[in-house]
Structure 1
Amino acid sequence: MFGFIGNIGPWELILVLLIALIVIGPGKLPDAAKSLGKAVTEFRKSSTGVKKEVEDAMKFEDPPEEETKTSENKDKDTDKS
């Protein structure tokens, strides 16, 4: 559920929220939470877009595989000569 916050346990999360409540205040806390949520959403969209662009660029950078002649094809070519 909270995969983006790492290894923060429930007590640490409560402590962070309590400090935020003291620093920001109860009136501005909902607005701050909304702004933080929008920022996280925008960051995820941007990182997904960059990841897709990199993957697309890597598709075009791979050189096409050249067909190598097998020993049979080489033998056929030398027989024709």
Structure 2
Amino acid sequence: MTSAIPLIGGIPAGPELLIILLVLVLLFGANKIPKLARSTGQAMGEFKKGREEVEDELKQMQEGDLSSGTETEATETTEATTEDDDLETEKESST
């Protein structure tokens, strides 16, 4: 039987990783690689910070919608109670 050979390999390890690192050093130079890694890390940090801010804003908007609905119900209940009190006061004054 023949075994299936994947067309796309997995994560490079061993000699493949060494060759990739050697090519990177030749292309960018030894001085540029730490700068590239640092800027990549800063970009990832900024992205994470922005994502968290958006998530917080969405949560605040959802909580605002829920609390505004509760406030509306509370206001309606208060208005109904005030109207009932006014009617009772009118009845008492007429008798």
**Counterparts of 2:56 and 2:50, CA distance in 1:** 10
Give the counterpart of 2:51 among 35, 42, 45. 42
Q: Partner amino acid for 1:74?
A: E
Give the unaligned 5+ runs of structure 2. Answer: 1-33
| Cα shift at 1:74 | 2.7
**Counterparts of 1:40 and 1:75, CA distance in 2:** 59
**Counterparts of 2:36 and 2:89, CA distance in 1:** 84
Q: Give me the CA root mean square deviation.
A: 2.0
TM-score (ref. length: structure 2): 0.47
Q: What does residue range 37-76 of structure 1 map to in structure 2 within 5 Å?
A: 37-62=46-71, 63=74, 64=76, 65=78, 66-68=80-82, 69-70=85-86, 73-76=87-90
Structure with bigger gyration radius: 2
What is the count of residue pairs matched by the alignment?
54
TM-score (ref. length: structure 1): 0.53
Moved over 3 A (4+): none
| Bigger RCO (CA 8 Å, 6+ sep) | 1
Q: Percent identity?
A: 4
